Amino acid sequence: MVNNPVTGSLTPLDFDHILNEVPELNKFGCLLSAISFNPPLDSSDINPEAWIRLTEILKENYDKYDGFVILHGTDTLAYSASALSFLLENQYKPVIFTGSQLPIGILRTDGKENLITAIEIAAAYQNGQAMVPEVCVYFENKLFRGNRTRKHNADHFNAFSSDNYPALANVGIHIHYNYGAIHYPAGISRLKIYTKLDTNIALLKVFPGIRKSVAEAILNINGLKALVLETFGTGNAPTSEWFVKLIADAVRNGLIVVNVTQCNAGKVDMGRYETSLALLNAGVISGYDSTTEAMLAKLMFLIGNKKDRREIIYCLNKSISGEISV
């Protein structure tokens, strides 16, 4: 981002300007090429169409390069990293998202270090194997699995956290890879991409005093196929008769309802408390330790590519791309 001289607000810039701001990139001992969206997108305007576009760009260029770095605004970066982790199958090259909290043209920007290190990791190979062949997020000295991240801080440089999964690498003077946490493919298969996402989903965050009319309005959305239910603690929700009945009726009518916790760390454990047992009995599916961002992307992916409801539910109960610990 750069400051708009007319409005004073932050607006996106293209990669040519970044090369001017980060001349260190010209010192890399590898070939760097760039593709920019035209016009560049603010991350608040990112949508599933942009995820599909990114996936197609990666496929078109996959055989030409050792790794890929995607520059992305921080606000929706965790959503995009989660989505691409499902849309890319048989991935064996690094795809690393990064960005900055301060605009690239500002003296104290964190963008330079983030970009330089992300490129270094994307180009890192050992014995013909990429060091981190995953969709990742690099920010402030930490490399995380993309579908495990959340933006947890709007003001500090350590904008992202991965509370339920360890960092894939820690960066200081040296880059220390956490090999035990990195997924390495058994062999190299042809990259497969998916280009279908179904956005007929919704998010309902429960809160003390939630009104019946609010829940009804969401559950009665025309064409709704799945709902992510953000609950308290380990998956707890109000036990009001009207609330439980609404959820149970929705599931009975074919709606897929997945329970994720509002907490940054920990997991859903339905049945541990009486306040979650009713959801379990109503047919609500556990989201385990998935982030909300990853679960929304996973549902878009599954509903877009799996037509059988039983198969979708089966896939929700297992890890597709390292997004849950089961």
Judge contact between 202 and 215, C-beta under 8 A. no
Q: For 135, list phi and psi in degrees, rounded to 5.
A: -85, 120
Q: Exposure of 94 by Cβ count < 10 A (0-12 exposed, 13-18 middle, 19+ buried)?
A: buried
Instruction: Please tell me if the domain spanning 2-193 has the same topology as the one spanning 201-316.
Output: yes
Q: In this predicted structure, what is the pLDDT of residue 107?
A: 72
**Which residues make beta-bridge pairs with 137?**
97, 144
Q: Which residues of the chain have pLDDT under 50?
A: none
Euclidean distance between CA atoms 67 and 124, whole angstroms: 8
Q: From residue 251, how far is each of 80, 145, 225, 276 by CA, in Å?
A: 28, 32, 10, 16
Q: Tell me the residue type at 9.
A: S
281-321: per-residue pLDDT in tens?
999 999 999 999 999 999 999 999 998 999 999 999 999 99
Torsion angle of the four alpha carbons 105, 109, 111, 117, in this order, in degrees rounded to the nearest 10: 130
Q: Which pLDDT value is given to residue 5? A: 63
The amino acid sitting at 27 is K
Beta strands in 247-286 (DSSP E): 256-261, 285-286
Amino acid 77: pLDDT: 97
Decide: 74 and 101 in contact? Cβ < 8 Å.
Answer: yes
CA distance 279 to 258: 10
Cα separation, 72 vs 303, whole angstroms: 26
User: What pLDDT was estimated at residue 17?
Assistant: 66
Q: How many CB atoms lie within 10 A of CB 228?
A: 22
Three-class secondary structure of residue 197 per DSSP:
coil
pLDDT value, residue 24: 79
pLDDT at 40: 84
Cα–Cα distance measured from residue 131 to residue 93, given in angstroms and rounded to the nearest whole number? 9
Would you kindly state where each structural domain of the chain is located, as residue ranges? 2-193, 201-316
What's the pTM?
A: 0.93
Exposed, middle or buried: residue 315 (CB in 10 Å: 0-12, 13-18, 19+)?
middle
CATH level 3 topology of 201-316: Rossmann fold (3.40.50)
User: Quick one: DSSP state of residue 284?
Assistant: P
Q: Give the pLDDT of residue 271.
A: 86
At residue 256, φ and ψ (nearest 5 deg) are: -90, 120
In this structure, the strands spanning 142-145 and 169-171 are antiparallel
In single-letter form, the type of residue at position 71 comes to: L
Matching CATH number, 2-193, of 2.60.40.420, 3.40.50.720, 3.40.50.1170, 3.40.50.300: 3.40.50.1170
Give the pLDDT confidence score for residue 292 in this predicted structure.
98
Q: How many CB atoms lie within 10 A of CB 285?
A: 21
